[in-house]
Amino acid sequence: MARIVMKFGGTSVADLDRIRNVARRVKREVDNGNQVAVVVSAMSGVTNQLVKYCSDLSPLHDAREYDAVVATGEQVTSGLLAIALQDIGVDARSWQGWQIAIGTDTAHGKARIQSIDGSELIKQMDSGQVAVVAGFQGIAPDNRITTLGRGGSDTSAVALAAGLKAERCDIYTDVDGVYTTDPRIVPKARKLSKISYEEMLELASVGAKVLQTRSVELAMNERVRVQVLSSFSDLPGTMVVDEDEIVEKENVSGIAYSRDEAKITVRRVPDRPGIAATIFGALAEQNVNVDMIVQNVSADGTTDMTFTVGKADLARAHAALGGIKSQIEYGELLEDPNVAKISVVGVGMRSHAGIANTMFRALADKAINIQVISTSEIKVSVLIAAEYTELAVRALHTAYGLDAT
C-alpha cells in the first residue's frame, strides 16, 4: 500500500460531470489499495472572476481581503469532490488550508508555505478516509487566509506530498504531460517521457504554465516524485526526474513564451555611477521585480536603460520612476506592454556552443526583431513584439529539430 497525492487542475473540475470523472479516478487508486490525498483547484474561470471582482471594486485593494475572496474557489471544489466520492461509496472529507494546517508567511497573494502539520490528516487517512484538500490556500501567523500565487495548487500538492512523505505526486491536467513547447500553439510539439528538475524549473519560470515554478523548486529540494498526466485519458505522462536519469540529453529540450511582461525604457539618462542603483532601487522599494535588462550608451554621454517588469506591476513601476525624475533627470519614459518573452531551455547548453546563434538566425529568417536578450547557464531568452509570439515559437521549435515527425 502506498500513500499518494493526486492534484486536479481547473479544467479537470470544471463542472459536475468532470468532478464525477475525478471521483472515479480517485476511487480507482483507493481500490488499488492506496491511501489518497487529493488536491483540487477552483473550477476553471472561477479564480479569474474572483480576481476581477476585487480589482473592479478597487485596483489597489487590501491583499488580505483579496485572499479571503479568491481562496473560496477551492473551498467549493473540495466540498463538491468529497460529496461525489461519498456518492460512489468512498469515505472522504474536505480540508481547507487552515484546517490542516498549511502554514504560510504573510505575503498575501503570493504567500510561501512554511509548515504543514499533517498529523490529523494522516490519522484520518490511516482510517481509510480520502482527504480532499483545497489547493492554493494556507493560513498566515496572523490567523488570516493566504493564497500562493496563480497556479499555486501545484505547490499545495507537492508540499503536501513532501509533508505526508507520499510515494508520488500526480498532477492531473488538461494535457497528457510536459511537451517540448505549449501543444496548444505548436501542434507538432512532442511529449517528453522524462524531464529534469532543472529544465522544468527553468521552463516554468520563463512561462510554461503546466507547473507553477515554486512547485518544481519544492519538488527538487524535497525529492518529491512528480508526474504530469491527463485527467481525461490513461496515456503515460511525464516524470520529473534527476538529470542523470536522462540518458539521451537534448541540447534544447523545451521552448516557452510569456506575455506577462511589459517593457520600459528610461531614455537619455546621464551616464554616471549610481544611476542603475537609483532606478532599480526605486522599483525594488515598490516591490516591482525586474527581469531582463539592457543598457545602451550613446556618444553624447547619456544612456538608455531598457528592462521588463510584470504587466501587473506596470502602474506601480510608472509611479516609482516618476518619483525619481528630478533626481536623475532622464529624458523620457517609454512603456510597451505589447511584448513577449521567448525562451529556449536545455541542459545541453552547458556543453554546446552556437545554441543562442541558432535562435537569432531562426528569428532573423522570419524578420522578427529582437529587442532584449538575456541568458543563463541553461536558457536563452529574447524579447520580441507580442504579435510574433506563435510564429517565433513555431520557427524555433523547427530550428532546434523538436518537431514531431
Task: Decide whether 43 or 255 has the Cβ nearer to ligand ASP.
Answer: 43
Cell of residue 101, nine digits: 494546517
CB 311 within 8 A of CB 261: yes
Task: Decide whether 151 or 183 has the Cβ nearer to Mg ion.
Answer: 151
Cell of residue 142, nine digits: 496572523
Task: Decide whether 13 or 92 has the Cβ nearer to ligand ASP.
Answer: 13
Cell of residue 224, nine digits: 518529491
Task: Decide whether 135 or 346 has the Cβ nearer to ligand ASP.
Answer: 135
Q: How far is the CB of 149 from ligand ASP (least distance, A)?
A: 8
Task: Residue 139: count other Cβ atoms within 10 Å of its Cβ.
Answer: 20
Please, what sign has the CA dihedral across residues 22, 28, 31, 32?
A: negative
Q: How far is the CB of 203 from ligand ADP (least distance, A)?
A: 6
Q: How far is the CB of 123 from ligand ADP (least distance, A)?
A: 29
Task: Decide whether 5 or 283 has the Cβ nearer to ligand ADP.
Answer: 5
What does the binding site for ligand ADP look like in residue numbers (CB under 6 A)? Answer: 9-12, 41, 151, 173-175, 178-179, 181-184, 208-210, 254
Q: How far is the CB of 332 from Mg ion (least distance, A)?
A: 39
Q: How far is the CB of 222 from ligand ADP (least distance, A)?
A: 20
Q: How far is the CB of 68 from ligand ASP (least distance, A)?
A: 15
Q: Residue 101, preceding bond cis, omega within 30 degrees?
A: yes
Euclidean distance between CA atoms 216 and 239, whole angstroms: 12
Contact between 135 and Mg ion (CB under 5 A)? no
Contact between 151 and Mg ion (CB under 5 A)? yes
Contacts of 318 (CB under 8 A, 6+ apart): 333, 335
Q: Residue 138 binds which entry of ligand ADP, ligand ASP, Mg ion, none, with Cβ cut-offs from 5 to 8 Å by kind?
A: none
Q: Residue 175 binds which entry of Mg ion, ligand ADP, ligand ASP, none, with Cβ cut-offs from 5 to 8 Å by kind?
A: ligand ADP
CB 164 within 8 A of CB 118: yes
Euclidean distance between CA atoms 194 and 225, whole angstroms: 12
Task: Decide whether 67 or 74 has the Cβ nearer to ligand ADP.
Answer: 74
Euclidean distance between CA atoms 286 and 264, whole angstroms: 16
What does the binding site for ligand ASP look like in residue numbers (CB under 6 A)? Answer: 9-10, 41-42, 47, 73, 135-136, 150-154
Q: How far is the CB of 76 from Mg ion (least distance, A)?
A: 17
Euclidean distance between CA atoms 245 and 192, whole angstroms: 13
Q: How far is the CB of 257 from ligand ADP (least distance, A)?
A: 8
Task: Decide whether 129 or 155 has the Cβ nearer to Mg ion.
Answer: 155
DSSP string, 191-247: B-SEEEHHHHHHHHHTT-TTS-HHHHHHHHHHT--EEEEESS-----EEEE-GGG-S
Task: Give the interface size with Mg ion as a residue count (CB under 5 A).
Answer: 2
Give the residue closest to ligand ADP by C-beta. Answer: 9
Euclidean distance between CA atoms 102 and 190, whole angstroms: 36
Q: Residue 152 binds which entry of ligand ASP, Mg ion, ligand ADP, none, with Cβ cut-offs from 5 to 8 Å by kind?
A: ligand ASP
Binding site for Mg ion (CB under 5 A): 9, 151
